Homo-oligomer: A and B are copies of this chain.
Amino acid sequence: MDSLATARFRRFARAVTAEVGALDSSFLGRGRPLGAARVLNAVGAGRTEVGEIRAYLGLDSGLMSRLLRSLEEEGLVATAPHPADARRRVASLTEAGRGEFEAYEALSDARAVALLERASHADDLLHAMDRVALVLGQEAIGIVEADPTREPARACLAAYYAELATRFPGGFDVALSFDPEAAAMVRPRGTFLLAVADGLPVGCVGLKGDGGPVAEIKRLWVDPAARGLGLARRLMRAAEAAARDLGIRTLRLDTNSALPEALALYRRSGWVEIDRFNDDPYPDLFFEKTL
């Protein structure tokens, strides 16, 4: 680790500290101390259990309790015993609390918009920010099932098709490809998995089944900002686990030699090349794996 790298990191930290600090101070404009605002926002973001919020914000239990009391006195949150364990308490926003929470959200959004508008190359900047956020928070990337016909998944699929269009020599048109019907990628026939980082999708994979013992892996894609973190491998492993769970014994997939990273991954993880098994015009390589 050379001193240039630390100097570069510290330049980054300085540049970003100013922005982060500005966000904090914009939170003070609503007449309550930062601590209370942070608790309110944690509740609004869906952290309901008091202990969970305490751990997330790193607060002492006494302080936490007082902050909750002050929010209750303001009429912004209500607390109730946890239904399954009356020692614990759960907090929730009241009507007024939801309004305050949304005001804080609007402040955050406004800051984001202001910053991105003053930056000359916003999409490029965002890509760099994605990269930083994903590498720093890579342990926080989770894999969840999702409906392939609905929003977070559709954005991933659109990004996947767009990337194929740039990488295949002759472009790519979904309409010409064998687009699997959605039901084939929904339980019980198959599944569709999303990699999610802090609420935003960063990768996907589909498992397309027909109820029998053979299924196909489809639409494996990872956001460019999240590449190199082993996410494709995690998605594939999760898809294989789901396949086993559905009683599938053999997996197949088709791919294209224009996607060398994917090929390397398949070859590394136990897939063997087989003969063409469909008439889709795009793929030129076919693989199989026995579970």
A residues in contact (CB < 8 Å) with B: 1, 3-20, 23, 108-109, 112-113, 115-117, 119-122, 124-138, 155, 197-200, 228-230
Chain B nearest Cβ from A272, distance in angstroms? 29
Most interface-central of A19, A129, A135 (chain B CB within 10 A): A129
CB nearest neighbor in B for A137: B15
Chain B nearest Cβ from A6, distance in angstroms? 4
CB nearest neighbor in B for A110: B6
Residues on the B chain within 8 Å of A136, using CB: 15-16, 18-19, 115, 119, 125
Residues on the B chain within 8 Å of A23, using CB: 13
Residues on the B chain within 8 Å of A11, using CB: 129-130, 133, 137, 197-200
Which 9 residue pairs are nearest across A and B when measured between Cβ atoms? A12-B129, A128-B131, A15-B133, A9-B112, A6-B112, A128-B128, A12-B133, A11-B198, A15-B137
| Identical chains bound together, number | 2
Which of B7, B10, B132 has a CB less than 8 Å from the CB of A16? B132
Whether B20 pairs with A116 at a CB distance below 8 angstroms is no
Q: Give bound CA distance, A197 to B5, whole Å.
A: 14
CB nearest neighbor in B for A122: B5
Chain B nearest Cβ from A132, distance in angstroms? 5
Chain B nearest Cβ from A36, distance in angstroms? 18
Whether A115 pairs with B16 at a CB distance below 8 angstroms is no
28 pairs, CB–CB < 8 Å, chain A vs chain B: A1-B113, A4-B155, A4-B200, A5-B112, A5-B126, A6-B108, A6-B116, A7-B200, A8-B129, A9-B126, A11-B197, A12-B129, A12-B130, A14-B133, A14-B137, A15-B132, A15-B198, A18-B136, A19-B136, A20-B20, A120-B228, A120-B230, A121-B135, A121-B228, A121-B229, A124-B135, A125-B131, A125-B132
CB nearest neighbor in B for A117: B1
Whether B112 pairs with A10 at a CB distance below 8 angstroms is yes
Q: Give bound CA distance, A221 to B131, whole Å.
A: 25
